[in-house]
Amino acid sequence: MNVASLHIYPVKSCRGIRLERTFLEWRGLTRDRRWMITDANNHFLTQRNCGALARIGAQVTDAGLVLSVDGSNSIEIGFPSSHQREAVTVWHDTVEALRASEIAENWISQAIGRDARLFYMDDEAERKTSAKWSEKTPVSFADGYPVLVTSMSSLAALNEDIRESGNGEPIAMERFRPNIVIDGADPWAEDHWSRLQIGEVTIDLVKPCSRCIITTRDPQTGEVTGRDPLKTLGQIRRSAHPDSPGVLFGWNAIVRNQGAVHVGDTVNVESTREDGWPLG
């Protein structure tokens, strides 16, 4: 098995960037989801309730970000100063993050058609994963865990089920917003992986990822295109675990050691979960 692709999402729920190499930190891949757009009450926004975020692209720079809408109308945004720290809410967590400039927020508000704010998670900001599935570890503004791992063969198996059911067109991997995509495994083999060594780093897969309406949105426009992949996942990948319901694709992981990761890195399974994950 090997790493097929690497992805980061500099601004939570906005467009991603595909990389050939990067560094895996305790919070996840370097510069992944360290920025977040909120409403006027400092509550996080995602494509679940604001599909227009899909149209915003982000490029990281040494000074901060360059944002654009559909590749044009760009704006340069610098890292906020330390005196602009405010409390923001992401799911059930409250994080003290740095607020961006009014100019940046006016640009974003116009781009998505609603009042919005922009925050940056610097190294002093603290947020940790839930202790329910593993010990608490640092995490960015990602939904819950530092790394999301998916498999090319599992996507192929899902698309075959979509085709056979007549539900719709094949789904691209970008719908699932992964960080590390693995090639060369059997379909759904990730249900049995517990610890992976990827190049010089080691990660633990702690729970599968329950999928939401974002997977039904066009990754470029944010428009809902149909019921898949949720409809088909509901037929073949519905969790039977009482503490983690929903339809599943990909696995959430925590970081065991920091280091460089590259496309093409060999992936080895260091330990497994014998019973996999219960499906209904």
Question: Average pLDDT for residues 9-32, to the nearest whole number?
Answer: 98
pLDDT per residue as tens digits for the range 71-123: 999 999 999 988 889 999 999 999 999 999 999 999 999 999 999 999 999 99
Q: Where in the chain is the domain with CATH 2.40.33.20?
A: 2-13+18-25+130-272
Amino acid at 97: A
Q: How would DSSP label each residue in 144-202?
A: S-SEEEEEHHHHHHHHHHHHHHT--SPPPGGGG--SEEEESSPTTGGGGEEEEEETTEE
Positive/negative CA dihedral, 169, 172, 173, 174: negative
CA 249 – CA 150 distance, rounded (Å): 7
Average pLDDT over the chain, rounded to an integer: 97
State how far the Cα of 172 lies from the Cα of 149, in Å rounded to an integer.
15
pTM over 0.95? The answer is yes
Give the tens place of pLDDT for each residue, 116-152: 999 999 999 999 999 999 999 999 999 999 999 999 9
Question: Over 90: is that where the pLDDT of 166 sits?
Answer: no
Mean pLDDT of 10-29: 98
Given a contact cutoff of 8 angstroms between Cβ atoms, the answer to whether 58 and 17 are in contact is yes
Class level of CATH domain 2-13+18-25+130-272: mainly beta
